[in-house]
């Protein structure tokens, strides 16, 4: 019960890893405030959390919009009275040849993964400074290495990595902790619905796929719960790889 009497805001809580994080933190006593664009998925997560004896509120927002991110945090404060943990899980991935990338794809991926993560941090930090709380951003192995056919996504996750380190430096003299977890492939809708070009040279993709199987969302949620918990008091500005060894080489 590392999160008893604590409030955790979790973006991307409607599905995949975000859902698993909501379930895991709730099982350890946190009140969850889930944020996502997908209202139906949020309802499903809230039902799962409540059926397991936990507490979850939820709010529909497009985090790539600054006003909506700030609105989500304001609503979390109104509803829960405090915020102790922010887990930025929401993200999108598009694969394809660099020459086929449209402005729409660029804006979508950077809007959610980079701007969305940033706006949520910006809105939550004043409250986290008060609660001596912490932020866990979800990066990716793709933010730490070159990945063929996913240049836009990998660039966005590299931005999340350095956003995490830069925020950590700015707040290094405060009790606020800011870290990132960098998973490899996770068995979620994102992994199942990512389509590579027909002429993909799979030898180029292999290094970012690794040698082991995909992680289960619950396994990555356990790492995130550790990083967000008082057990990880020594972590600040850390990028914690949880990628089945992909970035070991
Ligand atoms: N699945 C993988 O293999 C993998 C690997 C490494 C990192 N990640 C990262 O893990 C995180 C979770 O991914 P997942 O695998 O659970 O994918 P997912 O597609 O199952 O979940 C992503 C969630 O983000 C939400 N979302 C998308 N755009 C949003 C927006 N504008 N505002 C609010 N919510 C929005 C979606 O509705 C969805 O619920 C992402 O940041 C992803 O980049 C995933």
- Average pLDDT, rounded, for the chain: 97
Give residue limits of the domains in the chain: 7-248
* pLDDT confidence of residue 249: 86
DSSP string, 28-86: TTPEEEEEES-HHHHHHHHHHHHHTT-EEEEEE--TTSHHHHHHHHHHHHHHHS---EE
Which residue lies with its CA nearest to atom 26 of ligand 1? 90
* pLDDT confidence of residue 149: 97
Examine the pLDDT at 6 and tell me if it is beyond 90: yes
* pLDDT confidence of residue 230: 98
Which residue lies with its CA nearest to atom 34 of ligand 1? 36
* pLDDT confidence of residue 193: 86
Kindly give the distance from the C-alpha atom of residue 173 to the centroid of ligand 1, in angstroms, as a whole number. 31
- pLDDT tens digits along 137-153: 999 999 999 999 999 99
Per the CB < 8 A criterion, the answer to whether 92 and 108 are in contact is yes
List all residues whose CB is within 6 A of at least one atom of ligand 1. 11-12, 14-18, 36-38, 41, 62-64, 89-93, 112, 116, 138, 140, 183, 185-186, 188-191
Percentage of residues in the chain having pLDDT higher than 90: 97
Which pTM was predicted? 0.98
| Strands, E assignment, the chain | 7-11, 31-36, 55-60, 85-88, 134-138, 177-183, 239-242
- 189 band by pLDDT with thresholds 50, 70 and 90: very high
| Segment 5-29 mean pLDDT | 98
To the query of whether residue 149 is one of the catalytic residues in this protein, the response is: no
Examine the pLDDT at 192 and tell me if it is beyond 90: no
Examine the pLDDT at 191 and tell me if it is beyond 90: no
Which residue lies with its CA nearest to atom 11 of ligand 1? 89
* pLDDT confidence of residue 176: 98
Per the CB < 8 A criterion, the answer to whether 33 and 58 are in contact is yes
Kindly give the distance from the C-alpha atom of residue 92 to the centroid of ligand 1, in angstroms, as a whole number. 5
The CATH homologous superfamily of the domain defined by 7-248 = NAD(P)-binding Rossmann-like Domain (3.40.50.720)
């Amino acid at each position: 019960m590392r999160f008893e009497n604590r409030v955790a805001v979790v973006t991307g809580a409607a599905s995949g890893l975000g859902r698993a994080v909501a379930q895991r933190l709730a099982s350890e006593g946190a009140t969850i405030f889930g944020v996502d664009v997908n209202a139906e998925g949020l309802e499903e997560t809230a039902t799962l959390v409540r059926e397991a004896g936990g507490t979850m509120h939820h709010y529909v927002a497009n985090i790539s919009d600054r006003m909506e991110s700030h609105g989500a945090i304001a609503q979390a404060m109104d509803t829960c009275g405090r915020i102790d943990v922010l887990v930025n899980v929401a993200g999108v991935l598009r694969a394809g040849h660099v020459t086929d990338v449209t402005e729409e794809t660029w804006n979508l991926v950077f809007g959610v993964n980079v701007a969305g993560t940033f706006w949520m941090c910006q809105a939550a930090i004043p409250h986290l400074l008060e609660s001596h709380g912490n932020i866990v951003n979800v990066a990716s192995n793709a933010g730490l290495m070159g990945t063929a056919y996913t240049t836009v996504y990998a660039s966005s996750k590299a931005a999340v990595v350095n956003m995490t380190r830069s925020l950590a430096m700015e707040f290094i003299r405060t009790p606020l902790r800011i870290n990132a977890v960098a998973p490899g492939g996770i068995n979620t809708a994102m992994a199942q619905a990512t389509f590579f070009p027909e002429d993909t040279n799979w030898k180029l993709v292999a290094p970012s796929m690794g040698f082991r199987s995909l992680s289960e969302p619950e396994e990555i949620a356990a790492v995130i719960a550790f990083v967000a918990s008082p057990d990880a008091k020594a972590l600040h500005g850390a990028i914690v790889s949880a990628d089945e060894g992909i970035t070991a080489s």
